[in-house]
């Protein structure tokens, strides 16, 4: 079953995005393949963040997330956000961005993006958590050829999906 499942979903070859967020004076962001529009009226966009990631823990405390739609020549930025972790480095050093709603970093290099407000979370016990969002700002910078999973599936993620942070949130540490 799981081999058939993997084959099915990898044939779909999803377009890749970078999700960024901010809480307090902390910023985070990571490469994401699990995301989709999830309602027309009201408009909703959902994404799934790994419980292992710094971005996930920050998103728990954040009000907004930005979703950047990558083109096929954005591989370097995809590698930057998909292989480094905010637990070790500040990924925004040397990366130009503007602050959107809720202080969320909007990457200047990527002309196609949504800024969204976090609406709901669904954690049904898996290694990724669904975050449902409401778009509050959208910028369509023109047509682009998406960067697809098959172009970046050789990258080594900054965190494996089985990793867990201890304590689970920064708030828990205080
Ligand atoms: C091809 C690829 C797809 C990925 N898809 C997701 C995803 O859908 N959701 C997610 O939370 N992380 C995903 N990741 C993992 C994170 O981008 C990666 O672990 C990142 O380094 C985490 O950074 P952070 O700890 O600063 O959040 C993916 C990584 C790669 C290479």
Q: 50 CB under 6 A from ligand 1? A: yes
Task: Tell me which of 50, 87, 129 to substitute to probe ligand 1's pocket, judged by most ligand atoms within 8 Å of the beta carbon.
Answer: 50
Q: What pLDDT is attached to residue 42? A: 98
> What's the pLDDT at 173?
67
**CA 82 to ligand 1 centroid distance, Å:** 5
pLDDT of residue 166: 82
Query: Would you write out the chain's pLDDT as a tens digit for each of its 174 residues?
Result: 799 999 999 999 999 999 999 999 999 999 999 999 999 999 999 999 999 999 999 999 999 999 999 999 999 999 999 999 999 999 999 999 999 999 999 999 999 999 999 999 999 999 999 999 999 999 999 899 999 999 999 999 999 999 998 876 666 666
For residue 49, is the peptide bond before it cis, meaning its omega torsion is within 30 degrees of 0?
no
Quick one: pLDDT at residue 72? Answer: 98
Q: What is the pLDDT of residue 70?
A: 98
pLDDT computed for residue 167 by the predictor: 74
- Measured from the CB, is residue 33 less than 6 Å from ligand 1? yes
Closest atom of ligand 1 relative to the 58 alpha carbon:
27
Distance CA 171, CA 117 (A): 21
The b-or-e profile of 6-43 (16+ CB within 10 A means b, else e) is: eeeeeeeebbbbbbbbbbeebbbbbbbbebeeeeeeee
């Amino acid at each position: 079953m799981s081999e058939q499942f993997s084959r099915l979903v990898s044939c779909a070859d999803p377009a890749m995005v970078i999700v960024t967020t901010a809480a307090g004076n902390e910023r985070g962001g990571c490469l994401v393949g699990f995301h989709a529009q999830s309602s027309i009226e009201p408009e909703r966009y959902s994404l799934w963040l790994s419980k292992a990631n710094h971005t996930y823990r920050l998103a728990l405390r954040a009000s907004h997330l930005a979703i950047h739609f990558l083109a096929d020549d954005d591989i370097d930025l995809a590698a930057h956000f998909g292989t480094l972790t905010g637990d070790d480095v500040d990924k925004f050093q040397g990366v130009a961005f503007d602050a959107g709603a809720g202080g969320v970093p909007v990457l200047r290099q990527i002309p196609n993006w949504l800024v969204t407000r976090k609406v709901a979370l669904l954690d049904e016990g898996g290694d990724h958590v669904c975050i449902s969002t409401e778009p509050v700002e959208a910028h369509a910078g023109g047509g682009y050829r998406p960067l697809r999973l098959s172009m970046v599936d050789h990258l080594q993620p900054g965190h494996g999906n089985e990793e867990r942070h201890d304590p689970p949130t920064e708030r828990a540490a205080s």
